[in-house]
Chain A
Amino acid sequence: MFDLLARMTNRLVRGRRVRVAWLMAAVAASWMAPASAIPVFNRQTGQNCQACHAGGQYPELTPYGRMFKLTGYTIGSRTQVPLAMMAVASLSSVRNTSKSDDPSADFSKNDKLVFASASVFAGGRIADNFGAFLQYTFDPYANLDASGKYHGHAAADNMDIRYADHAVGAAHDLVFGVSANNNPSVSDPWNTAAAWMQYVPVPSPSSSQFIDGATPYPGYGVGGNTSGLTAYAFLDERLYVEAGAYRSTRGAFGFMKLGQPTSALTRLQGNAPYARAALNIAWGASTLMVGGSTMSSRVYDDPAVADPTTLHRFRDVTIDAQYQWLLDPHALTLQAVATRQLHRYPDFLAGQVPAFVDAQGNALASTSTSDVLRLLRTKASYTWRATYGGSVSYFDLSGTTNTLNQSSGYDPLSGTITTSPSAAAPSTRVNGNLTGNPRTTGETLEAYWLPWQNLRVGAQYTFYQRFNGSARNYDGFGRNASDNDSLFVYAWFTY
C-alpha cells in the first residue's frame, strides 16, 4: 500500500517539485496496511477469535481484547511456534474506466481476481510482563517495472512490543506499561484509532485506488514505519492515558522498517510527541469510549535528504468515540472520528507562483503557506453469531483550497488542460485535482461472511459524491466523482 500511494502521489505531482502534497497527508493513516487478528494469540489463549474481536471481525477489539492487548499480549501459555499468517485475495472493479489516457495503468488489474497481500505475524507472550505483535507483509504488486510487469516485495508492517503490568488494589486497579511501536496509535486499544479503523488490506494495483480502504481515513502527518516509545495507563478500565514520542527509525529500532525503501519512509526532525486520552464506560452489554489524541511532527520533504529548509510541520488533533453493544450472538459497533490537521509548508513550496494558469492565461494565486484538513468518518457495523455481518460508513474530507494542491490546470503554453509531457504544466487524469480543494465525500456499504473463524469473505461498494474537490470534472478531463465508485470483493484467510 505504501507503494500504491507513493505512485498515486507521484502521479499527482508529476512534473513538480511538490513531494508532500495534501493527499499524502490526508491518507497518511491508510499507508499502513492494517494488521489483523493473529491466530498465534488464539493458540496462546485457546479462545475463539470472538473472545478478543467483536463478532469475530478482526481487528476490532472487545473489552477483553483491549485488556489482552494492554496487558502486553501475555494472557495464556507461550506457544512453541509463535507465528501466524494471513493472506488476502480480492477483486476490484471501478465503475467507469473509460475516462483515462491509459486505462491499463490507471485501473491495473481491474475486474481481475488477484492475490492481494500476505503477512506473517510473530508475537504473543514472551514473559510474564513482556509480549509482542510483529507483522511483516508481502505485497505481490509492490513495484511495476518499465515493461509493465509487477514485482513483489516484503517489508515491516505494524509492530508493537510491550512491557505491561496490572496492579490490583482494594478499590482500584491499574494497567500500565510501555510500548515500542512503529506507527502512531498502533498501540491504541480502540478501533477508532488511526492505525486500526481501516482494516481490510488494500491491494496495490491501481484498480483498488478508490475502494474503501483507500478513501480518507484518520491519520497523523508522520505516517508509519517511524519508531516510537509510549507509556500508558488504564485506571479501573475507565480512564486511559498514553503519551510518548516518535522518531525516524534507525539504530536498534531498524527492524521496524525492515525492507521498506527509503522513499516509503517518513524522515522526522527530532521527536514527534504523541498523546492520547480516553474515557471508557461500561454498563449492561454496552461499552462507550470518548477520547482524543494529538500529535505534532516535523517531516522532511525528501526522506533521503535531511534538509531543514524543507520541513513540513504537522499538527494533528483527533476526537473519537466508539460504542459497542456485545451480547451474544449480537455484536454492534458505532464509531465516529473527527480529525483536524494543520499542515505548514516549507518556504520553497509556500508563496510560490503555480505552474498552471487560469483559462484566460492569467497567473493563479500563489501557493498558501499552510493548509487545514478536516476529516469526519463514521461507521456502524453489526455481526450476528460471529458469522454474518455488514457495515455502513461515511467519510467527509474537507479543507482549505490551495493552488499548491492542484495537479490539473491550464497549461500556460497551450492554454489547454493537457497531459502532454511536452506541456509546461502537464495535468493529471483520474487522480488529478483541478480545484486545489481536497473535498472528498462518500459512503461504503459492506456485507461479510465468516464461514469459520479463519476466513472472512466480504464485498464492499464505495460511492463518491465528491472527489478531489468536485462532484463533476474534478480532474479537468471530464471525470466525475461517481466514476470512481468501486466494488471490492475479498477473501481474507488467517491461520
Chain B
Amino acid sequence: MKHLLSIASLAGMVLLAGCAGASRSRALGDPQVPGQALAEQVCSNCHGQRGISSSENFPHLAGQQADYIEGQLRSLRDKHRRDPAGFVYMWGIARNLTDAQISQLAAYYAAQPAAAAAPAMLAEPRAGRQLFNEGLSERGVPACAGCHGDKGQGNGAIPRLAHQQRAYLLRQLAVLRQSPDNRPMGTLMNSVAHQLSDDDMRALADYIATM
C-alpha cells in the first residue's frame, strides 16, 4: 500500500512536470536553485538519493558532518583538493556553487539518516577494531576514535567514517598517504597514513564499513 501511494504521488508529480521550476532544476550555475534540488537532481546520480551511494566508487554523504561537507565542497570549488576523484568528478560540479548552496547541501546531507553497516568481510575484524580504537603506539599512529569519535561519527570538520564505503575509504587513505597537497584539509592525516601499511588500511576499511 505504501508503495502504491508513493507511486501514486509520483504520478501526481509527473502531472506537474511542467511546473517543476527551480525545485527540480539541474542547473549548476544558478544561485536560485536550492541545495536540496541540487542534491536530488545532480548529486544523487553518484551519491544516491538522500546520500546513500549505491556504488563503492562514491562515498555515502548521509549523516556526514555538515562542517566537513562544507569544507570539502569549498575546497573542491576552489580547486584546492586535487585528488583524482576530486578533479575528475567534483571540480566541475562544485565550480559554480555559491556559499549558500554549499551550506544548504551540507545541512541537507547531515540531516539524512546514515547508511546501514555493510556486511562484514571478516567474522571478527579484530585488527581493524584495535587500530581504530587504540592506534599503533609503536609507529606513532593515534587511535582513529580519538578524532573521529568512538563510533566513527565524526566531529565538525572531522568526517564521519562509520559505515563509509570500503573502497572509498581505501582510496582516500592512499591519497592522504601520497601527498598532503592532494587534500590540503587532510594534512593531519598525511603523517598518520604514512605509518599505515596496505594491510592496515584494508583492516581499517573493513572495520569502519561494518562497525
Interface residues of A (CB under 8 A from B): 45-48, 50-51, 63-64, 67-68, 71, 74-78, 125, 128-129, 165-174, 176, 237, 282-285, 287, 326-329
A47 touches B93 (CB 8 A): yes
B84 nearest CB neighbor, chain A only: A328
A232 to B: closest C-beta gap in Å: 13
Residues of A within 8 A of B45 (CB): 63-64, 67-68, 75
B32 to A: closest C-beta gap in Å: 11
B96 nearest CB neighbor, chain A only: A77
Q: How far is the CA of A75 from the CA of B3 in the complex (A)?
A: 29
What are 28 A-B pairs at a CB distance below 8 A?
A45-B93, A46-B91, A46-B93, A46-B95, A47-B88, A51-B92, A71-B41, A75-B26, A75-B45, A76-B29, A78-B27, A129-B24, A166-B24, A167-B17, A169-B6, A169-B9, A170-B6, A171-B2, A171-B6, A172-B3, A172-B7, A173-B40, A173-B44, A285-B56, A287-B55, A327-B56, A328-B57, A328-B171
Number of A-B residue pairs, CB cutoff 8 Å, is 122
B167 touches A327 (CB 8 A): yes
Q: How far is the CA of A71 from the CA of B25 in the complex (A)?
A: 10
B54 touches A128 (CB 8 A): no
B194 to A: closest C-beta gap in Å: 22
The answer to whether B10 has its CB under 8 Å from any CB of chain A is: yes
* Binary CB contact string for chain B from 10 to 53 against chain A (1 if under 8 A, 0 otherwise): 10011001001100111111100000000011101110010000
Residues of A within 8 A of B54 (CB): 237, 282-283
The answer to whether B85 has its CB under 8 Å from any CB of chain A is: yes
B55 touches A285 (CB 8 A): yes
A168 touches B26 (CB 8 A): no
B92 nearest CB neighbor, chain A only: A46
Q: How far is the CA of A174 from the CA of B44 in the complex (A)?
A: 12
A124 to B: closest C-beta gap in Å: 12
Q: How far is the CA of A287 from the CA of B58 in the complex (A)?
A: 14
Residues of B within 8 A of A172 (CB): 3, 6-7, 10
CB-based closest 10 A-B pairs: A46-B92, A77-B29, A167-B13, A47-B92, A67-B45, A48-B88, A282-B54, A171-B6, A168-B40, A165-B17
Q: How far is the CA of A69 from the CA of B111 in the complex (A)?
A: 29
Q: How far is the CA of A165 from the CA of B45 in the complex (A)?
A: 14
A64 touches B10 (CB 8 A): no
B45 nearest CB neighbor, chain A only: A67
Q: How far is the CA of A287 from the CA of B56 in the complex (A)?
A: 11
A64 to B: closest C-beta gap in Å: 5
Q: How far is the CA of A45 from the CA of B28 in the complex (A)?
A: 8
- Among B88-144, those with CB < 8 Å from A are 88-89, 91-93, 95-96
- Beyond contacts A46-B95, A74-B27: 7 other A-B pairs, Cβ-Cβ < 8 A, are A48-B87, A63-B55, A76-B27, A125-B26, A168-B41, A172-B6, A327-B167
Residues of B within 8 A of A45 (CB): 28, 92-93
Q: How far is the CA of A71 from the CA of B42 in the complex (A)?
A: 10
A282 touches B55 (CB 8 A): yes
Q: How far is the CA of A6 from the CA of B87 in the complex (A)?
A: 45
Q: Which listed residue (B14, B27, B87) contacts A167, Cβ 8 A?
A: B14
Residues of B within 8 A of A167 (CB): 10, 13-14, 17, 24
B59 to A: closest C-beta gap in Å: 12
Q: How far is the CA of A50 from the CA of B91 in the complex (A)?
A: 13
Q: Residue among B6, B56, B92 with the most chain A CB within 10 A?
A: B92
Interface residues of B (CB under 8 A from A): 2-3, 6-7, 9-10, 13-14, 17, 20-21, 24-30, 40-42, 44-46, 49, 54-57, 84-85, 87-89, 91-93, 95-96, 167, 171
Q: How far is the CA of A68 from the CA of B41 in the complex (A)?
A: 10
Q: Residue among B6, B17, B21, B40 with the most chain A CB within 10 A?
A: B17
B26 touches A285 (CB 8 A): no
Q: Which listed residue (B26, B84, B87, B88) contacts A71, Cβ 8 A?
A: B26
Q: Residue among A63, A129, A170, A328 with the most chain B CB within 10 A?
A: A328
B33 to A: closest C-beta gap in Å: 9
Residues of B within 8 A of A64 (CB): 45-46
B82 to A: closest C-beta gap in Å: 13
B88 touches A326 (CB 8 A): no
A77 touches B28 (CB 8 A): yes
A47 touches B6 (CB 8 A): no
Residues of B within 8 A of A63 (CB): 45-46, 55
Q: A170-B6, A285-B57 are in contact. Are A50 and B88 (CB under 8 A)?
A: yes
Q: How far is the CA of A76 from the CA of B38 in the complex (A)?
A: 10
Q: How far is the CA of A75 from the CA of B92 in the complex (A)?
A: 11
Q: How far is the CA of A128 from the CA of B27 in the complex (A)?
A: 7
A172 nearest CB neighbor, chain B only: B6
Q: How far is the CA of A78 from the CA of B30 in the complex (A)?
A: 10
Residues of A within 8 A of B10 (CB): 167, 169, 172-174
B137 to A: closest C-beta gap in Å: 33
Residues of A within 8 A of B89 (CB): 47-48, 51
B28 touches A328 (CB 8 A): no
Q: How far is the CA of A328 from the CA of B21 in the complex (A)?
A: 35
Q: How far is the CA of A168 from the CA of B84 in the complex (A)?
A: 30
A75 touches B88 (CB 8 A): no
Q: How far is the CA of A412 from the CA of B13 in the complex (A)?
A: 70
A166 touches B92 (CB 8 A): no
Q: A47-B89, A76-B92, A169-B6 are in contact. Are A326 and B57 (CB under 8 A)?
A: yes
B6 nearest CB neighbor, chain A only: A171
A76 touches B26 (CB 8 A): yes
B88 to A: closest C-beta gap in Å: 4
Residues of B within 8 A of A166 (CB): 24, 26, 40-41
B173 to A: closest C-beta gap in Å: 14
Residues of B within 8 A of A237 (CB): 54
Q: How far is the CA of A168 from the CA of B40 in the complex (A)?
A: 7
Residues of B within 8 A of A67 (CB): 45
A471 to B: closest C-beta gap in Å: 44
A285 touches B167 (CB 8 A): yes
B26 touches A327 (CB 8 A): no
Q: How far is the CA of A15 from the CA of B91 in the complex (A)?
A: 61
A453 nearest CB neighbor, chain B only: B88
Q: How far is the CA of A287 from the CA of B6 in the complex (A)?
A: 25
Q: A75-B26, A326-B55 are in contact. Are A165 and B91 (CB under 8 A)?
A: no
Residues of A within 8 A of B171 (CB): 328
A365 to B: closest C-beta gap in Å: 55
Q: Which listed residue (A77, A171, A283, A287) contacts B27, Cβ 8 A?
A: A77
Q: How far is the CA of A63 from the CA of B10 in the complex (A)?
A: 22
Q: Residue among B6, B9, B40, B57 with the most chain A CB within 10 A?
A: B57
